[in-house]
Chains A and B, each alone.
Chain A
Amino acid sequence: MHSPIIWHSFFFLLFSILACAFAVAVVVTTNIVRMAFFLVVSLGSTAGLFFLAGADMVGAMQLMIYVGGTLVLLIFGVMLTAQQPFVSMHTPSGEWILAAIVGGSLLAVLLQVAWSVDAWTQGPPLPEAAYTREGTQGNASEALAHDPRFAPSQTATQLGFGLLGERVDQLSVKDPESRAGMSGYLLPFEIVSVHLLVVLVGAAYLARARYRASE
């Protein structure tokens, strides 16, 4: 059977290999400055995976908040504490072996679970027209344009309404009992915003320079 390369799968493979390889590099390296850089690449590739899954807003937020904000914070922490003895701290090999055993068994369990459900192992199949030979090229591209993998996804509006308490993505559900459980996320949104404010004030209070104590 003539099966074309699915570019969606190709980019998934690229970003997943980048994310996993640099995550492993974060674990393996002992230099804290390199760890920070590898983490930037790993989280950036994860943002690529979010885009490929159709979550454009979350991917953009991942790039802006995580890679742009949280990691800059982390790198500042590294720079402020990177005195010579702390740049590369070695772990005893006994702890490495123990962690490898625990991590390996956890990974085995998780992988087994990931492949245990038949509905998850394969994504939605490509439209039939994509498998036909050349000559029907126009039909194929038309069919692919309606495939969710290649159609642009616009979730920002739905997410914004969801945070304001309106689920515009669930309007097709008519059953009133089901709709009652589909309220939006206004209360969690307010809680998390106040939480963020309190945390940032607390962080500024904790990390302030205390001249009196050092005198």
Chain B
Amino acid sequence: MNLLTQPVGVSHYLVVGAVLFVCGVVCMATKRNALGVLMGIELVLNGANLNFIAFGSHVLNRAGARTLGLDGQLIALFVIVLAAAEAAIALAITLNYYNNQATVDVDHADELRG
């Protein structure tokens, strides 16, 4: 199986998306820095976006196959915009947390009651 001489299909994109997704999940689970957790979320959203694009692509699917079509790209655009919004609000919360507690360690965030 030579990757260079065979045409790329949806599965190849799904594999890359799965790797990005799992990296994001592990990043979210292990990082103690709140911004590191945020970067894990970005990776997860990108992995999902890659799957949407692959399912909607006319380049990767055989002619006549039923695909998501343009819906995949539109959903990916919405995900990108929502990720920007989520990053802005999470960064504001992190900065607020840093100003109040003088730390960005999420392990100490259980003091944030009330």
Contacts and interface: CB of A to CB of B under 8 A. Distances in A.
B52 to A, nearest CB: 9
Residues of B contacting A: mostly: helix
A144 interface: no
A74 B87 contact: yes
Interface string A136-174: 000000000000110001010011001100010110000
Contact of A148 (B16, B25, B59, B104): B59
Interface in A23-68: 23-24, 26-27, 32, 35-36, 39, 42-43, 46, 49-50, 52-55, 57-58, 61-62, 65-66
Given A65-B81, A74-B35, A89-B33, A114 B70 contact: no
A70 interface: yes
Contacts of A206: 89, 92-93, 95-96
A166 B70 CA distance: 12
Q: Which of B32, B65, B105 has the most CB of A within 10 A?
A: B32
Nearest to A209: B99
Interface of B: 2-16, 18-27, 29-33, 35-36, 38-40, 42-43, 46, 49-50, 53-54, 56-63, 65, 69-70, 72-74, 76-78, 80-89, 91-96, 98-99, 103-105
**Nearest 5 pairs of A and B residues by beta carbon:** A123-B7, A114-B14, A110-B18, A206-B92, A120-B10
